[in-house]
Amino acid sequence: MLNIVLFGPPGAGKGTQAEKLIAKYNLVHLSTGDIFRANIKGETELGVLAKSYIDKGNLVPDEVTIKMLEAEVEKSTNAVGFIFDGFPRTTPQAEALSTFLESKGTSISVMLALDVEEQELVKRLLLRGKDSGRADDQDESIISNRIKVYNEQTAVVADFYDAQNKFQKIDGVGSIDEIFNRLCAVIDKHKVSL
């Protein structure tokens, strides 16, 4: 299997690139943010809980997020691989994912970390907020809290994969196709050695 963690701060372009990557490599896209938003729209119990965190730009608790992610993986029994987008966001999530995938006889192949500087992120998120209607993209104080949460709780997840020689930093500035080509180059190199 080819299991990719697509990593980076909010606004780094993970969702955009994930859409292109799943088409090229036939992978299943699992975005925890998208799954939470679908639950919020459907007014499920999980959605109500998630909304109280998402609206402030805070992380949904690990236990809830991990359980939800694992249930989503279980649904795709015939997948040739997954793109995890927005997950793991904490070290306990990374550890849980590792244990879970191991129980399925597989593992993360590579973490692709999109690198974009903070000023550019804020600019991109505010622009996205105008089109997407996402409340957490429209308020600068929520955006800065999300970036703070990323720096304080999520950035460290890169070390988890670096320690396993699975961390690859990708320049996340440029055109969508330029960035996509950078990602594909690393994946293709990696696939040869799988």
Is 160 an interacting residue with respect to ligand AMP (CB under 6 A)? no
Q: Which residue in the set 7, 82, 87, 160 belongs to the binding site for ligand AMP (CB under 6 A)? A: 87
Residue with smaller CB distance to ligand AMP, 13 or 57 = 57
Asked whether position 3 contacts ligand AMP by CB under 6 A, the answer is no
Contacts with ligand AMP by CB under 6 A: the residue count is: 17
User: What DSSP string runs through 79-148?
Assistant: -SEEEEES---SHHHHHHHHHHHHHTT----EEEEEE--HHHHHHHHHHHHHHH--GGGT-HHHHHHHHH
- What is the C-alpha separation between 140 and 147, in angstroms, rounded? 11
Region of 49-57, 75-83, 101-109, 110-118 interacting with ligand AMP (CB under 6 A) = 49-57
Query: What part of residues 106-135 is at the interface with ligand AMP (CB under 6 A)?
Result: none
| H or E segment and range at residue 193 | none
Sign of dihedral through CA atoms 91, 96, 98, 99? positive
CB-CB contact of 14 with 25 (8 Å): no
Whether 51 sits among the annotated catalytic residues: the reply is no
Question: Is 84 a binder of ligand AMP (CB under 6 A)?
Answer: no
Q: Does 94 bind ligand AMP (CB under 6 A)?
A: no
Quickly count: other Cβ atoms within 10 Å of residue 51's Cβ.
Answer: 17
Which positions lie near ligand AMP, rule CB under 6 A?
10, 32-33, 36, 53-54, 57-60, 65, 86-87, 89, 93, 136, 146
Active-site amino acid positions: 14, 89, 128, 134, 146
